[in-house]
């Protein structure tokens, strides 16, 4: 097993960006509390400034604040950091990639350029330019539902030959590309969809960048630990337990709208959403309330990980 196999293996929490109630600023205190919660719960690392972190709404200064604050506190709590640094402008993505290096992150997360809809040649050129720009590992992020484009297996295979491109977050919604990536490259494959973490692991996936672990980090970490120990019966039981809330967090509304609502229901308020995201409907909130009640009844020990952390 290579160093990259070890570093990019396990549960990485795609952090929400906590805002003040008026949405004007990043709530740094809440961010630090959230990171401490993740450390206590046993996840491997954290991912600031991704989709879940509402990265398109962050200013340059806020992006830097998120990455630097997260990296500093993660180091104190023995967590790895994969910093979101993607953009649909290659020059901007390179700037954010270098910022991640300067801040001390372990890698940057590089999403497919969105809206531009580049060809496979354009995708290849974009990621190669970033990989050549500085010596920081890259986790590719393939999420066609958000970006409108999907890296083909041929493009992934070519990109995997670059020494700085070491992993891929697969949020394509299926297992076919995962299977091909595992069989044809040495990339560490991380699930980008919580409901698919267990199925991906069964064919060679090495972890997850999880939305759900913001809410139930201990349970997501416990499932991955069971996988690592080849305790598949236990892992399947936790998967089935988490499946309803995992799917609803991603389907009731755009991420992170349901997640922030669920956190608020659990007494872990992370402030407002920023436009163009809007608060969820009452139907969504009531659905989340029912799901959380069921989940917490089954696992009372997982309900208040935050209570273990000093504020």
> Could you list the active site residues?
141, 169
Could you tell me how many helices (H) and strands (E) the chain has, helices first? 13, 8
Cα torsion at 132, 135, 137, 138 (round to 10°)?
Answer: -30
CA distances from 52 to 15, 61, 179, 214, 254 (A): 6, 18, 26, 10, 10
Name the token pair of 296: 């917490």
- Which of these, 163, 92, 174, 108, lies nearest to 141 by C-alpha position? 108
Residue 126's CB is within 10 A of a number of other CB atoms, namely: 23
- The answer to whether 23 touches 64, Cβ cutoff 8 Å, is no
Query: To 5 degrees, how large is the angle CA 89–CA 95–CA 98?
Result: 140
Enter the tokens of residue 196: 């698919």
* CA–CA gap between residue 64 and residue 80 (Å, rounded): 17
Nearest partner of 33 among 48, 18, 45, 47, judged by Cα: 18
- 3-state secondary structure (DSSP) of residue 79: coil
């Amino acid at each position: 097993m290579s160093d990259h196999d070890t570093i990019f293996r396990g549960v990485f929490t795609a952090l929400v960006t906590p805002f003040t109630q008026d949405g004007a600023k990043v709530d740094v205190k809440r961010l630090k509390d959230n990171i401490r919660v993740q450390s206590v719960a046993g996840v491997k690392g954290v991912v600031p400034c991704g989709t879940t972190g509402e990265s398109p709404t962050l200013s340059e200064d806020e992006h830097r604040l998120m990455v630097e604050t997260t990296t500093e506190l993660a180091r104190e709590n023995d967590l790895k950091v994969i910093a979101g640094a993607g953009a649909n402008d290659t020059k901007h993505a390179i700037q954010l990639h270098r910022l991640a290096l300067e801040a001390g992150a372990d890698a940057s997360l590089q999403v497919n350029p969105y809206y531009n809809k580049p060809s496979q040649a354009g995708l290849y050129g974009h990621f190669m330019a970033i990989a050549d720009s500085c010596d920081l590992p890259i986790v590719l992020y393939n999420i066609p539902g958000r970006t409108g484009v999907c890296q083909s297996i041929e493009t992934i295979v070519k990109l995997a030959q670059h020494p700085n491109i070491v992993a891929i977050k697969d949020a394509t919604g299926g297992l076919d590309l995962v299977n091909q990536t595992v069989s044809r490259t040495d990339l560490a494959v991380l699930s980008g969809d919580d409901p698919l973490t267990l199925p991906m692991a069964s064919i060679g996936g090495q972890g997850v960048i999880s939305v759900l672990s913001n809410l139930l980090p201990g349970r997501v970490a416990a499932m991955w630990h069971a996988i690592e120990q080849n305790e598949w019966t236990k892992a399947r039981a936790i998967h089935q337990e988490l499946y309803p809330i995992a799917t609803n967090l991603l389907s009731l509304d755009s991420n992170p709208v349901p997640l922030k609502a669920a956190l608020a229901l659990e007494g872990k308020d992370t402030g407002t959403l920023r436009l163009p995201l809007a608060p969820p409907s009452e139907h969504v909130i009531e659905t989340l309330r029912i799901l959380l009640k069921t989940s917490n009844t089954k696992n009372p020990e997982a309900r208040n990980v935050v209570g273990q952390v000093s504020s």
